[in-house]
Amino acid sequence: MDIITQINTEKKPKHVAIIMDGNGRWAKQKGMLRVFGHRNGVKAVKQTVEAASEIGIEVLTLYAFSTENWNRPKTEVKALMKILVSSLKDELETFQQNNIRLQTIGQTQNLPKKAQKELLEVIELTKNNTSMVLNLALSYGSREEIVNTIKNISKKVVNKQLSIEEIDENIINNHLYTFTLPDVDFLIRTSGEKRISNFLLWQIAYAELYFTDVLWPDFRKEDFFKAILDYQCRERRFGKISEQIQNNND
């Protein structure tokens, strides 16, 4: 039986986030430079975007480049930026054919001008697409996002646009980079590492976590569908007990 036919489309997560890990180790296993792994990781991105679109995922967020990644060797960072630009050009037709809208979160103003230009062009060309949001986290760090959120809220309090008593979860949500998106339902990390790495710390408060030993360049549609099936076997309680969840579903 084809694995996709086993997925219950009525019980799929709305927002899936992925920490794409393992490119460097994949390349090292093959006696190649890390950049070789990043280039082959593009195939996994394409497969994952197509898989998510096929089963009707509303939002797919990919951790493409963290604020900490700027500390990597300059040659690797430069290569990553080139791969980003070329990938966006190559995938624009796929985005249009599959009605996918591209958006980004993070300090994208720190990216090279060429990368910024390509991003803005693809974002503009896909802005009216409605099937799925592909959200790229670029020059992104969750702690930086939260600090930025606190600063912006504080300015409003100082300027008497907002009172301290008004600050609640909704106010905070509305000042995050992801203010237009639902919270993350399902977080996937590849390569066997079991940590969050400063990714969407607020947004994953009640997300289901899934860790796979598959290195990112080897990640394919079947791996994504396998993860979704694992998600569908879980009971999401949000602090309640099983009986309450069952009663609400009856």
pLDDT of 244 over the 80 cut: no
Please, which residues have CB within 8 angstroms of residue 188's CB and are 6 or more apart in sequence? 16, 17, 18, 19, 210, 211, 212, 224, 227
Mean pLDDT on 60-83: 96
Check whether 189 is labelled as a binding-site residue. Answer: yes
∠ at Cα 105 (134, 155), nearest 5°?
A: 145
Task: Tell me the CA distances in angstroms from 194 to 21, 56, 121, 209, 228, one per residue in order.
Answer: 11, 27, 35, 9, 18
Structure token digits, residue 240:
């309640």
Domains of the chain (ranges; CATH) run: 3-234 (3.40.1180.10)
pLDDT band, residue 238 (cuts 50/70/90): low
Q: What is the pLDDT of residue 236?
A: 78
Position 239 pLDDT exceeds 80: no
Mean pLDDT is lowest, of 24-28, 64-68, 246-250, for: 246-250
Inform me whether the pLDDT recorded for 245 exceeds 60.
no
168 labelled binding-site residue:
no
> What is the C-alpha separation between 2 and 46, in angstroms, rounded?
20
The verdict on whether residue 31 carries a ligand-binding annotation is: no
User: Does 175 appear as a known binding residue?
Assistant: no
Give the tens place of pLDDT for each residue, 179-214.
999 999 999 999 999 999 999 999 999 999 999 999
Q: How far is CA 69 from the centre of its chain?
A: 16
Q: Would you place residue 246 in the very low, low, confident or very high pLDDT band (cuts 50, 70, 90)?
A: low
Whether residue 39 is annotated as binding a ligand: the answer is: no
Q: Which residues are catalytic?
A: 21, 69
Digit-coded pLDDT (tens) for 87-136: 999 999 999 999 999 999 999 999 999 999 999 999 999 999 999 999 99
Known binding residue 216? Answer is no
